[in-house]
Chains A and B, each alone.
Chain A
Amino acid sequence: MRLFIYSIVDGLSGLKRSGISSLLTILTICCSLVLLGAFYIIRQGLRENLQETRSRFVLEAFLLDAEPKDHETTGEKILHLAGVDSIEYVSKDDALARVRETFGDDYLALIEDNPLPASFHVVLQPSYVNRDSVARIVAAIAGVPGVEDVVYRATLIDLLNRYDRLVGAGFIIFGIALSILGFVLISNNIRLTIEAKRDIIETMELVGASRGLIVGPLLIQAMIEGGLGALFAGIVLSVLVQVGTIFIPVLSPVTAATIGVLVLVGILFGFLGSFNALGWRIRY
């Protein structure tokens, strides 16, 4: 317990004693986390955007002419298919009204009979909006009695798919690479700090300091540096996002929770970094 308190007190004064090198560590952690955070926020923004696009994706199921009651049964069947989120009935009249809205009255004035079929606009659950599932659902809907044809924008699906792979695997690999890079930077920085204390550590060993007493304050110091660096990174990020939303509207704002997570990551980086740097330095 006393060791713990001592570690905290001495870790704090260690910040002051190390001065510039502490500042450098904080800066390194801050920069690494700004990079990581920015990356994460952009990825998150893209994902949300993607999800949103998905939820707007609709299939149009054109119906054979029939009694409204039959259309209702058809709709019910469609709604019960796996992956279907909601449906909207568009009657012949509705369809006509929509066309009028788009092209103006004169265009249809020539035609006396309404040639447009009734249809269902089918919205899928976002996770089903990919090539395979859509193909399966389209086939299923086409098989429902009363459905004449199913139409959708296949190119959009392809686009979403490609986008998805980018936000998924590609981003994860990039994120891991970025994390490793940040960790190496931080770890190296802490190693330099500790290397500079080599004489001090040696002298401490000579006067009988145990491993915990030497390592404890250094670990705490690095963790405080990690936390502070992360906090600054959080502040920088929220400002960046504020500015960034002007140009990229998909970015979501940095919340207190995000900053909290960031600080935890910073503390973890500080801990692991100094652990990594210390391991071989202390003999017992």
Chain B
Amino acid sequence: MKIIRFNNVRQSYPNGEGIQLADFSVGRGEFVFLVGPSGAGKSTILKLIIMAERPRSGTVEVGEYISSSIRPGQVPLLRRQIGMVFQDFRLLQDRNVYENVAFSLRVIGKSGAYIKKRVLRVLADVGISHKRYQMPQNLSGGEQQRVAIARAIVNEPLVVLADEPTGNLDPETAKDIMELLVKINIGGTAVLMATHNYHLVEQTGFRVLKIDAGVIRE
């Protein structure tokens, strides 16, 4: 069962860069690395998955949605099945840790009681419960990334997309975050992690998708 499928996708920009050909899929519960140097097009692939961009040619399938036929109103629905983690964390700076994570559940209209129970649970899972009333700007990078991961998994998505999630972290913290993502994967959630760090990938034994001169194939 595939949850993400790229069918002969081309997404090159006017300057000639970007994705020349992407043709691959990601299965349920898989852990996949997407590797390539800076500018290779990793973020572009992730943007195509959340349908922030539509491909020039080919199609992207995510869950029940297809890039060629998805309506704008369905894009939020698609994104609720995807957890996003970024290099720069992207927390909502105007609310505390708890509210940042709760927001993903408010988005899908969960009840207050459920939200409270679930958010506290997930914050504990990622090891950040004790900072739940802190504002994001008062947290270290590693802590912010934990909050971002909590937000990504709180509504039990099909897949977590992580775009260089360890890029802004020191090696020790990066290792913790990696372990956390692996733990999430063991729990059954697929993870697609983009990184330019081959070194990080080599040790794990997970599946690797390489972007080579703008081309990704199985």
Instruction: Write the residues of chain A forming the contact surface with B, with a CB cutoff of 8 angstroms.
Output: 2-3, 6, 13-14, 17-18, 197, 199-200, 203-211, 213, 283-284
Contacts and interface: CB of A to CB of B under 8 A. Distances in A.
28 contacts: A13-B95, A17-B94, A17-B95, A18-B94, A199-B93, A203-B90, A203-B91, A204-B103, A205-B76, A205-B79, A206-B79, A206-B90, A207-B79, A208-B76, A208-B77, A208-B79, A208-B107, A208-B108, A209-B76, A210-B73, A210-B76, A210-B107, A211-B76, A213-B106, A213-B107, A284-B72, A284-B73, A284-B76
Contacts of A6: 106
B92 A204 contact: yes
B104 interface: yes
B84 interface: yes
Contacts of B103: 204, 207, 209
Which of A203, A211, A283 has most B Cβ within 10 Å?
A203
Contacts, number: 57
B110 to A, nearest CB: 9
Contacts of B104: 207-208
B94 A197 contact: yes
Interface string B79-123: 110101000001111110000000110111100000000000000
For chain A, what secondary structure do more than half of its interface residues adopt (helix, strand, loop), or is it mixed?
helix
Nearest to B77: A208
Contacts of A207: 79-80, 84, 103-104, 107, 151
Nearest to A13: B95
A69 B73 CA distance: 86
Nearest to B71: A284
Instruction: List 9 A-B pairs, minimum CB-CB distance, nearest first.
Output: A208-B79, A208-B80, A284-B72, A17-B94, A208-B76, A210-B76, A209-B107, A203-B90, A207-B104
Contacts of A199: 90, 93
Which of B50, B76, B103, B106 has most A Cβ within 10 Å?
B76
Interface residues of B, number: 25
Contacts of A200: 92-94
B200 interface: no
B213 interface: no
B109 A3 contact: yes
Nearest to A16: B94
Nearest to B82: A208
B139 interface: no
Contacts of B92: 200, 203-204
Given A204-B107, A205-B76, A207-B79, 12 more contacts: A3-B109, A6-B106, A14-B94, A18-B94, A197-B94, A208-B78, A208-B82, A209-B76, A210-B76, A210-B107, A211-B76, A284-B75
Contacts of B91: 203
A134 B104 CA distance: 73
A256 to B, nearest CB: 36
